[in-house]
Structure 1
């Protein structure tokens, strides 16, 4: 072998090493947050096979839902997406405990696979039933108000931050030996019922929502990250005919947020769903809502 060939090989080996070191998997990541209708009360036993099959390229990090002050809040692990990430799901940061319920995540991911074939999809989920974005409505469920002291100085926003930090700190979520590169691709927010019970709190919903969504975008390192809001609805399943006395004020604030803010849209199909109980949609509702969220976030990203 001549000297020129040897020189070329000597120069090539370092370049090969650099290429190997910089090989990365690009993974689209979506955040799902809110209160109980984001948790999900769909029944796993009622899931069609078409929703649960072939989710091989989808992973989820589901932060442990916990009250304010609970030090287990936000703990989780990356795993392949399966049914059971609904109400009563839990994790201690080492293992997860799937429940008998599902939320929007399954049909959301399934629909996204149609839009992004052959791409890897990651979902970060933290939600907790009954929570408010106003500290005066925290009650026993907790509040997302960033400055709220909560219990022991820990609130729902802190649990959210812990979820995101833990999820994004993992550099190989599928354990394939290749570093992952996260592409933040959207925020899905389904919440507001707890803020619709008192007039003064409902009036503040727009300002509270704008501030919180700005901070959620910042936590995901993208100031114009697309946001899809799920419009709250009311089953009317009590003596007064309204579960949420000031629900219209929160609905107006949600519509205002979607209209005024950049890269935001709203899903209104919730008005048509049947209910599992007085507060939560049935299985078909969660399946449809997940698909509608996927349609909406895809269109925002496409813009």
Structure 2
């Protein structure tokens, strides 16, 4: 892992020198990163506004839509699950949450003396492979699709909009954001269509993670992959017909990339519907993401 000083130097083009350093993490993927947990199910420790944790949640948009990635920085609180929206001036919180709450809480415990920032852009149903885009969208950077705008473009817009703000907490002091990790929960939509598409997942995932790292300007930025699972709640049993091939690709990526890890807890999760976990599982997922990332990052 590169030293904190080197990370700061790498990120100088995006941020001004500051008296306050903030660790920033990117959260991306599809619907189980969006989050289908219900705020009403949260324990007291996660149900309020966080101190010293901020989030920029990019407005989700379909391929070809112009408003993807709009958002504002605000203190982390419940409501950044499915149904969240932003017009770039105010956020519309939902009654749902994803792994971001428990992740932030656990990271605060692991790095108690540091400020934390999250940048989130994910969209349910999206594939990496352009042939799986359907009505939901594709993360393939070269996919022209509708109007030449795809999910990778919306990710870039999110990063651009988030990083142009120099004082994310509004305290009058510029913040130096230090990229510290990537969390990726996606792959179901690459595993439910054709065997050929599922077999391309490793190459697609590797390329995309390399490009996400490049966008954050740290070529060995730690990546933690959430391993997809199956509810077996479809007419023929499996929901993701070629899900095992995507799982293999995810394991291969975690094994072959020098700064990657994988969260396997998902194997034991319960489902609220054929596609999405129950509330308590998003809490566990956030903790597991943090613990896996810490194994790569180590002590400050």
TM-score by length of 2: 0.93
Deviation at 1:150, TM superposition (A): 2.2
Aligned counterpart, 2:5? none
Is 1:226 aligned with 2:252? no
What SS is found at the alignment partner of 2:120?
A: strand
Query: Which of 104, 108, 121 is the matching residue for 1:109?
Result: 104
Aligned counterpart, 1:15? none
TM-score by length of 1: 0.92
Mapping for residues 127-146 of structure 1, pairs under 5 Å? 127-146=122-141
Aligned counterpart, 1:160? 155
Q: Which runs of 5+ in 1 are unaligned?
A: 1-20
Deviation at 1:118, TM superposition (A): 2.7
Query: Which of 56, 61, 80 is the matching residue for 2:51?
Result: 56
Deviation at 1:271, TM superposition (A): 0.5
After superposition, what is the alpha-carbon deviation per residue over 1:154-178, rounded to whole angstroms, capped at 9, x for unaligned?
0000000000011011100001111
How many residues end up aligned between the 2 structures? 283
What SS is found at the alignment partner of 2:131?
A: helix
Over 6 Å off, 4+ runs: none
Deviation at 1:62, TM superposition (A): 0.2
Given that 2:49 and 2:76 are in contact with CA atoms closer than 8 Å, whether structure 1 keeps it comes out as: no
For 1:218 and 1:196, the matched residues in 2 are separated by 26
For 2:103 and 2:30, the matched residues in 1 are separated by 17
The structure-2 alpha-carbon separation of the partners of 1:250 and 1:23, relative to structure 1 and needing over 3 Å to count, comes to closer
For 1:131 and 1:239, the matched residues in 2 are separated by 22
Query: Which of 76, 80, 88 is the matching residue for 2:75?
Result: 80
Aligned counterpart, 1:10? none
Aligned counterpart, 1:187? 182
For 1:211 and 1:72, the matched residues in 2 are separated by 25
Aligned-residue RMSD, C-alpha: 1.1
The structure-2 alpha-carbon separation of the partners of 1:23 and 1:215, relative to structure 1 and needing over 3 Å to count, comes to closer
Is 1:257 aligned with 2:253? yes
Is 1:281 aligned with 2:277? yes
Query: Which of 263, 266, 269 is the matching residue for 2:262?
Result: 266
For 1:132 and 1:253, the matched residues in 2 are separated by 14
